[in-house]
Amino acid sequence: MKQPKRAMAPFPSVLLQRLLEEQQQQQPGLLLHLLKLLSIFFLSILFLGRLSRIWSKKTSLPPSPPKFPFIGNLHQLGDLLHHSLRDLSQKYGPIMLLHFGHSPVLVISSAEMAKEVMKNQDTVFRNRPTLTAAQVLFYKCQSIGFAPYGEYWKQVRKICVTDLLGVKRVQSFMFIREEETDFFIKNISESCSQQSPINLSDMLLTLTNDILSRCNLGMRPENIDGNRRIGKLSREVMHLLGAFCFGDLFPCLRWMDVLTGLTRRLKRTSQEVDALLDSIINEHVIKRENQNQNSQDFVDILLHVQKENKLNVDINKDHIKAIMMDVFIGGTDTTATVIEWAMAELVKNPNTMKKVQAEVRQIVGNTMKVKEEDIQQMEYLKCVIKEALRLHPPGPLLVPRESVTSTQIEGYTIPPKTRVYINAWAIHRDPMKWDKAEEFIPERFSESSVDFKGQDFELVPFGSGRRICPGMSFGIAVVELALANLLYWFDWELPNGELKEMLDMSESFGFTANKKIPLHLLPSHYVA
């Protein structure tokens, strides 16, 4: 079995600890001096911590754990940031102020506080912080997801909602979803005949990659570069977005990103992405000139918008590439992750698996074809997807926001330029909102009107307000069709006689919360 890549050490405390251990091994005579320095250091911390608490009370800042000078609260965080923040919030409350190095960070861990940020004060928290990786990889943050609030963002979001990812456009891509899903099912069928387990995690990523490539770029990945390089680049971009960056938290230590290799990786990946997107755009331009007609993929739509120049802002080639990358990155890994977790939970809960399979197979019947219109009748399947999104939101921490001005929440003062992390993972597991919050129970949605579309703040996997994910409808359409096909055509078991209790459900560290151990399953053909 292929071992997953080891996650990057997320915080500098780990690096400092290793450096200290190496120093003690090489020069043990320094130990006494080191102990003296540490004593002075910790006494200083106690004194500064007391001053900090006095200052917080005077200025009515939100509750905050004691912090160290310079590094702030980084020492209190582990590899899985959303887990660490939930643990801290259970002690300090659903609205909590931390410091990640130089940056003040507001952490929101309840539905009520999330509503305050994303609805009641959406105009105050409408901005995005400037992050190094987004600056480099998304053409100075010119994408929909990372662009600062302003006229440019409003115009490109309008394009996205009306022309790229609107309801009619999503419906027009139905034949692509069905063709690629059929191809995906045929590949699994070949494994059935060989009675061999499959790496479902990898196959799902290939499926979503192929669908997004055809919708976004007008062709399958192997027809673009012959070796699926675009899929590899998208995964590298997702990893870099979640990597630790000294410059974002300690501006004076930006040079450390050169030593860790992050700067080099960002530059190399950016150059590769830029060259690939350039070639795709040039190919589309030539095709449009020769054929004198418009196709329906995203690149052609964006080129048409650029040519018509009907917007209040100019759209140049870099803007097009940033939007292309945003759509691709936002819809590939996250969509595959939702299906991956849904299948993992169903394997661990065989009675639920049988119940949803019975519904899918009864509705599809003997037509031997899962159609998207059939899925509208699959109420329990939709409950399964909601429950998977509740327990395993693909982005457990919503893309951070930033306060534009000073404001008040629950009587606490929130300074301007404060980063805001909304811990969707913690909100979705709040025992005050959900009965048996840690268990996979799709039936909880059978008699509930709670949905994930941004109006119910106890379930916000796609966010809410003006910064809600514009690709929600597109992503859900892919998830529903793929999952319905997997459940209709095959029965599923763990390979090598493994018990469901042995299935590892731990998460990996990154921008999205994938399974740490890829999902390997043994499919067998369903016999009616």
Element (H, E) at 422: strand 419-422
pLDDT per residue over 302-324, tens digit each? Answer: 888 888 776 777 888 999 999 98
Reported pTM: 0.86
Do 459 and 335 form a contact (C-beta atoms < 8 A)? no
User: Which amino acid is it at 103?
Assistant: S
Angle (deg, nearest 10), helices 174-194 and 472-489: 30
Q: What's the helix, strand, coil split of the chain in %, to 5?
A: 60, 10, 35
Q: What domains appear along the chain, each with residue ranges and CATH number? A: 12-25+73-525 (1.10.630.10)
Parallel/antiparallel/unpaired status of strands 412-414 and 407-409: antiparallel
Structure tokens at 430: 């709040």
In angstroms, the CA 113 to CA 427 distance is: 10
> What is the rounded average pLDDT of the residues 335-341?
95
- Mean confidence (pLDDT) of the chain: 86
Which residues are annotated as part of the binding site for heme?
469
Q: How is residue 253 annotated by DSSP? A: G
Parallel/antiparallel/unpaired status of strands 401-402 and 407-409: unpaired
53 pLDDT higher than 90: no
pLDDT per residue over 441-492, tens digit each? Answer: 999 999 899 999 999 999 999 999 999 998 899 999 999 999 999 999 999 9
Which residues are annotated as part of the binding site?
469
In angstroms, the CA 349 to CA 341 distance is: 12
Q: Please identify which residue in the block is written with the tokens 């095709």.
A: 287
Band of residue 236 on the pLDDT scale cut at 50, 70, 90: confident
In angstroms, the CA 148 to CA 154 distance is: 10
Band of residue 293 on the pLDDT scale cut at 50, 70, 90: low
> What is the rounded average pLDDT of the residues 127-148?
92
pLDDT per residue over 364-398, tens digit each? Answer: 998 888 999 999 999 999 999 999 999 999 999 99
